[in-house]
Amino acid sequence: MKNFAVIGVGGYIAPRHLRAIKDTGNCIVAATDPKDSVGVLDQYSYDIKFFSEIERFDRHLEKLRRGPEADHVHYVSVCSPNYLHDAHCRLALRVGADAICEKPLVINPWNLDALEEIEAETKRRVFTVLQLRVHPSLMQLRESLQTSTATHDVELTYITSRGPWYQVSWKGDPEKSGGVATNIGIHFFDLLMWLFGSVNGVRVYHSDHERMSGFIELERARVRWFLSVDKNDLPEQAKENNKTTYRSITVDGREIEFSEGFTDLHTKVYEETLAGRGFGIADARPSVQLTHDIRKAEISPVDALAHPLLKK
């Protein structure tokens, strides 16, 4: 049994990590969050030390590090806002633990270099959550694609409605979240590179606080993509059915079915990580680099390669 500590335990994504820790038979010993509304902890254990200041959390982990081996913290789960991920991974490594960090591991690729150096110094590891890579249907799809070197036409559409709170929160601040492509898109970009190889070229047609759209040329695919958090972008059919999310990936016009099997992907990632098969910095790098490049790209005029929703 491994001891875990959790940073950002009061946030939206933390419960999936808490459950993954529990489901893999491990123990939560400490947690921190600047806000103190963390009654969620009581669902897991009544013995979790809680700190509303990162400094006091760090002091506690330092104390455990120097204490009896049974108390050592082996993993720190990082569930804080994106722009703090690397600082909190560093905290983990410094107190002698490995980090398991929510996506995106970092916002800017050069922060990965820094993390790699600290990995080397501390002999500890930083892992991240690339959960689509452990999704059974997608693993199967990948296998089927490996047999050929054909180039595919891919269309990625992801529209997930968010109310005004989203823009008020850190998620709406590109310096803190990386913006729409990074915050809601990075999983899909990682998936596409994992399926179709690395990037040959990038074009961005549109970019604002609520939506981004572009074209990516991968080794074995031409990808048109459209990402949005604005409910007005939902297709008519979705609106009529009162759906608030529309997610579609087509390969050569055929829909990839992966809406099932999402319930416990965090747990699978934890299982893999604990078994020594976690996703590390090198795995995270391509999608961090790509979303960075998308964020910095100049806007191109809409052309034939653009996503159909843009051309309307």
Site for a second copy (CB under 8 A): which residue of 19, 23, 26, 50? 50
Q: Using alpha carbons, select from 260, 190, 184, 212 the residue that is nearest to residue 13.
A: 184
Whole-number Å distance between alpha carbons of 20 and 255? 30
For the bound state, the minimum distance from the C-beta of residue 11 to a second copy, rounded and expressed in Å, comes to 5
Order of strands across the sheet that contains 98-101: 49-51, 27-32, 3-7, 75-78, 98-101, 126-128
Q: Mask: binding to a second copy, 214-253, rule CB under 8 A, as x and -?
A: -----------------x------------x---------
> Strand pairing of 211-218 and 221-228?
antiparallel
> Strand pairing of 199-207 and 211-218?
antiparallel
Q: Which residue, 227 or 306, has its beta carbon nearer to a second copy?
A: 227
Site for a second copy (CB under 8 A): which residue of 25, 55, 149, 236? 55
Cβ atoms of 205 and 297 closer than 8 Å: no
Q: Is 178 in the site for a second copy (CB under 8 A)?
A: no
Report in angstroms the alpha-carbon separations of 203 from 25, 121, 217, 269: 45, 38, 9, 32
For the bound state, the minimum distance from the C-beta of residue 90 to a second copy, rounded and expressed in Å, comes to 7
Site for a second copy (CB under 8 A): which residue of 62, 217, 271, 272? 62
For the bound state, the minimum distance from the C-beta of residue 257 to a second copy, rounded and expressed in Å, comes to 25
- Total number of residues that touch a second copy (CB under 8 A): 51
Site for a second copy (CB under 8 A): which residue of 31, 101, 274, 284? 31
Name beta bridge partners: 5.
Answer: 30, 76
Q: Is 12 in the site for a second copy (CB under 8 A)?
A: yes
Q: Give the H/E segment covering residue 183.
A: helix 180-183
Name beta bridge partners: 216.
Answer: 202, 223
Q: Is 139 in the site for a second copy (CB under 8 A)?
A: no
Question: What is the contact surface with a second copy in residues (CB under 8 A)?
Answer: 10-12, 31, 34-39, 41-42, 45-56, 58-59, 62-63, 66, 83-84, 86-88, 90, 94, 111, 114, 117-118, 161-166, 168-170, 231, 244
